[in-house]
Amino acid sequence: MTAYAVGHLYEVDMCADIVAYLEQIDATLAPFGGRFIIHGGPCDVREGEWHGDLIAIAFPDLAHARGWYESDAYRRILPLRTRHARGAVFLIDGVDTTHKATDILH
């Protein structure tokens, strides 16, 4: 089942370290089948308040997502982002194509 790495980042200082992080992250995703499906951009807020950027990266499954996040290649570049951006990042399973909202009640 597809899994996702999701980040809600804010207070990003677009400095040389962030640029270096962006230039290197794609190569860390490739061995784990990761690909960006959301990467910031304008947000059409319909309810509540929103600030920052949403990032979502799809992986074939949670094992691949964990493997990427824990990989030496990603760990080497991670400080380039964490020193210059605040926010939450998490890994989460998706749902299959037959999922209905009421499935969580069972």
Residue 69, SS3 per DSSP? helix
Express each pLDDT in 3-55 by its tens digit.
999 999 999 999 999 999 999 999 999 999 999 999 998 899 999 999 999 99
In a domain, 105, yes or no: no
Task: Copy the structure tokens of residue 61.
Answer: 């499954």
Instruction: Find out whether 5 and 69 touch, Cβ atoms under 8 Å.
Output: yes
CATH number, domain with residue 84: 3.30.70.100
In a domain, 87, yes or no: yes
Distances 12 to 16, 42, 50, 92 between C-alpha atoms, Å? 12, 15, 15, 23
pTM, full prediction: 0.93
Domain that holds residue 78: 3-41+53-94
* Residue indicated by tokens 């190569």: 27
In a domain, 60, yes or no: yes
In a domain, 102, yes or no: no
Strand 3-10 and strand 35-39: the pairing is unpaired
Strand 86-93 and strand 53-59: the pairing is unpaired
For the chain, the domain total comes to 1
